[in-house]
Structure 1
Amino acid sequence: MAKFNNIFILVALILASGVMASPTQKKISPPKHVPGYPLHLLHCARRVEDECGKEIFLGMFEKLPVSRKCCLQLIKKMGKTCHDDLDKAIVHLPDYSSRASKAIPKGNRIWHKCALVARHI
């Protein structure tokens, strides 16, 4: 089965190459030159199934809901730190940086909605 983790691998490679955030994005900048950070992102991305990674990713940029199943994976398998780190890294990719001001808050809303779902199981 093809992995949706390709976007996250791309994030890791870009961060490993030392791409810096723009001045307008300083408050959401991922760590720079932290040994092991790209591997951390890869590990985070692999904690959820491919379809769930895609739902969560698309939920940040489109008006698409995240399923109960994927919410549970996000909360119980990925965790808040990984979710936030991936969100920050994704919005530093050239194709997504212009939408960072909307994507980061949407990522936070996804987390909070999923946390409510997880509390009710």
Structure 2
Amino acid sequence: MAKSTIAFSALLLACFVLFELGLAKDAHQPAPGYDSSIEPCLKNMTEECGIEIFQNIFHEGPEVTDPCCGVLLKFGHPCHSELIEIVLSTGKFAPRESEILQKSTAAWKRCRSIVEGH
């Protein structure tokens, strides 16, 4: 049961990101920019926190909440960086790439500080 919940959450998160990017055109074909190497990472991300983090970094969403900071750290820095790069590789956010990279770094550092108490 837990594995199916994790898989479903990962699928919903991936669908949200792809829909947000306007890449979900054909359900039978992977979207351009989709990299299957991110799939193992997604098992450590919840749908709610994935959306919250995405909104914070790529839009003008509020700060990542403390509980989602814990999820982000469990997700791991390599997975976080890879997902940011995958989204940026689509070109949709190209004009704001520098800003997004700064927001990504700031979110990671803030969450690490909250979770680890540094």
TM-score (norm 2): 0.71
Q: Distance in 2 between matches of 1:105 and 1:53?
A: 18
Equivalence for 2:51? 54
2:76 to 43, 65, 79: 79
Instruction: Mark the CA change 1:109 to 1:116 in structure 2 (over 3 Å): closer, same or farther.
Output: same
Equivalence for 1:117? 114
Q: Tell me the alpha carbon deviations over residues 49-71 of structure 1, each in whole angstroms, 9 at most, x when there is no partner.
A: 10100111111121411011110
Q: Which runs of 4+ in 1 moved over 6 A?
A: none
The alignment yields a C-alpha RMSD, in angstroms, of: 2.5
Aligned 8 A contact 2:69 2:115 in 1: yes
Q: Distance in 2 between matches of 1:44 and 1:67?
A: 20
Equivalence for 1:15? 33
Equivalence for 1:68? 66
Q: Once the 2 structures are TM-superposed, how far is the Cα of residue 8 of structure 1 from its aligned partner?
A: 5.5
Aligned 8 A contact 2:33 2:90 in 1: no
Q: Which runs of 5+ in 2 are unaligned?
A: 1-7, 25-29
SS at match of 1:95: coil
Aligned 8 A contact 2:52 2:61 in 1: no
Q: How many aligned residue pairs are there?
A: 98
Q: Distance in 1 between matches of 2:39 and 2:51?
A: 15
SS at match of 1:14: coil
Taking only the aligned residue pairs, the percentage that are identical comes to: 24
Moved more, 84-93 or 5-14: 5-14
Q: Tell me the alpha carbon deviations over residues 94-114 of structure 1, each in whole angstroms, 9 at most, x when there is no partner.
A: 322222111011001000000
TM-score (norm 1): 0.69
Q: Tell me the alpha carbon deviations over residues 68-121 of structure 1, each in whole angstroms, 9 at most, x when there is no partner.
A: 11100110x21000000111111122322222111011001000000001113x
